Amino acid sequence: MKNTYSGLLVNIDERGVAKVTLNRPELHNAFDAQLIADLTEVFNYLGSQPEVRAMILAANGRSFSAGADLNWMQKMADYSYAENMQDAAKLATMLASLNHFSKPTIARVQGAAFGGAIGLIACCDMAVGSKLSKFCLSEVKIGLVPATISPYVISAIGARAARRYFTTAEVFSARRARRLGLLSEAVTEEELDSTIESLIEHILRNSPQAVSAAKSLINHVENRKIDHALIDYTCEQIAHIRVSEEGQEGLQAFLQKRLASWNKASL
């Protein structure tokens, strides 16, 4: 991972909480090819670091992200089909790296979250937004579709709601985003950080190995038919983690009424 990025700030605190901050406030944190490449590199690096326990995805300035950068879009207008395929694949790779990040991820959302920004939010495990934040799947307004973000957004809000917001491109509120499932919480601007910190505190009380295994379990089980193969898989997962080092530590800590060795809450 590079030491510095032009459009990103990256920090890991003493507890192992990583914070990745979009830092193009003058452009409302719109993303281009370079920012997409940098985000992919950062997500892959942080996900591979054992000391990282959770990641917050935030943004500086008035907006979380306005989606695609206008200059980048102007370049894309002259791309061939093959060039568009390559460009789309890079964005899809970045989204997949966030969606499959091995530790819990929390989006901190303020202001506008338009277009591809909603994909970033949907890829995170949790999202806390300001009550004043606004959302829009705006692609069809300019003759495009929210294609690469669609698997994650549909998973977050459901196909029925996607049929509406993909086609109307209407702006919707944080309250509506909360009801749709895009946001986990909608709070005042002043409560954003304390609400996220509460979630982080809960995560830091838990076994890092178990937390990562729980995320993987969801990805494997979601939308699968409940058959013998799936039942066997779930049995294998619990048996494996029970005999693991952290599984044994957790059971012993519980039985001995003490904190487990990984508990870093309130440090």
Residue-wise pLDDT for 33-63, tens only, equals 999 999 999 999 999 999 999 999 999 999 9
12-21, 113-122, 243-252: which has the minimum mean pLDDT? Answer: 243-252
| Strand extents, DSSP E, the chain | 8-12, 17-22, 54-59, 105-109, 112-114, 126-130, 134-136, 172-173, 185-187
Residue-wise pLDDT for 224-242, tens only, equals 999 999 999 999 999 999 9
Model pTM score:
0.94
Domains of the chain: 8-203 (3.90.226.10), 207-255 (no CATH)
Cβ atoms of 106 and 128 within 8 Å: the answer is yes
| Per-residue DSSP letter, 29 | T
